[in-house]
Amino acid sequence: MGGFDFEQHSVRGDITAIAGSTITVKTDEGDTYSVATGPNTRFRKQQDLIKVTDLHVGDMIAAVGDKDPKAKTVGAMFVVVIDKEMYAKARADFGKTWTTGVVRSIDGTNIVIKRPDNVTQTVAVDENTSFRRRREDITLADIKPGDNITARGALQNGSFLATMVNLGGPRGFGGGAGDRSRSDSSSTPNSAAQPSGNPPNNQSKNQSNSQPNN
């Protein structure tokens, strides 16, 4: 089962202007996108449904929909307000206490994933690891190359040992955009907090079992 590619269909950044139903967003990479919304666009802040009029310049959002990287536009199906403190913490913890990406290969109890920042990381599992698809318990055998997974765990001796692996597309921030794997509160950080481009400065791409993808 192939996963939803959140990065190809979304843009994330700070609102710099709002003109009617059009939102201008500046990304972490410095790109400026025009986000078009309409009657069918869903807006969410945490668990609350909101309106475009509830957004403000300076808010951080993730917009998911029809993204055109060349034209720098997004026709938004979902717009989710991101808590900046939670986002900063998730970035700092990325690759350390949680990770996410597309499965490239599985070798025994090691799952190799390609993360959104183009780093390849190995996720190790053991008899204590739980596997979930939405609210359903699954096993390692249910995970295949091409699937999207998100894992919670910790680095141990340079390896990422997972205590929980969730199968399916990454969750949108606050349970909104990109939600293809809605599970219980013990699951994983939200995909809107996924780092894109380069990882945070305090994280080395050369850590053991985490190498840049060629």
Q: Domains of the chain: which residue ranges? A: 7-86, 87-212
Fold category of 7-86 in CATH: OB fold (Dihydrolipoamide Acetyltransferase, E2P) (2.40.50)
Name the DSSP letter for residue 9: G
Instruction: Give residue 159's pLDDT.
Output: 85
Instruction: Give residue 4's pLDDT.
Output: 53
- What is the mean predicted confidence (pLDDT) over 33-60? 96
User: Using 50, 70 and 90 to split pLDDT, how confident is the model at 131?
Assistant: very high
**Contact call for residues 204 and 98 (beta carbons, < 8 A):** no
Burial code (b: 16+ CB inside 10 Å, e: under 16) for 27-47 equals eeeeeebbbbbeeebebbbee
Fold category of 87-212 in CATH: OB fold (Dihydrolipoamide Acetyltransferase, E2P) (2.40.50)
Q: What is the pLDDT of residues 70-126, one digit of tens each?
A: 999 999 999 999 999 999 998 899 999 999 999 999 999 999 999 988 899 999 999
Instruction: Give residue 5's pLDDT.
Output: 61
Q: In this structure, what token pair is assigned to residue 206?
A: 């050369």
User: Using 50, 70 and 90 to split pLDDT, how confident is the model at 168?
Assistant: confident
- Residue 143, CB-side half-sphere exposure with 13 Å CA sphere: 32
Tell me, yes or no, if the pTM score tops 0.85.
no
Who contacts 198 (Cβ-Cβ below 8 Å, separation ≥6)?
117
**Contact call for residues 151 and 164 (beta carbons, < 8 A):** yes
- Name the range with the highest mean pLDDT among 20-24, 26-30, 178-182: 20-24
User: Using 50, 70 and 90 to split pLDDT, how confident is the model at 169?
Assistant: low
| 3-class secondary structure, 114 | strand
Total count of residues recorded for the chain: 214
What gap in Å lies between CA 85 and CA 50, rounded to an integer?
Answer: 20
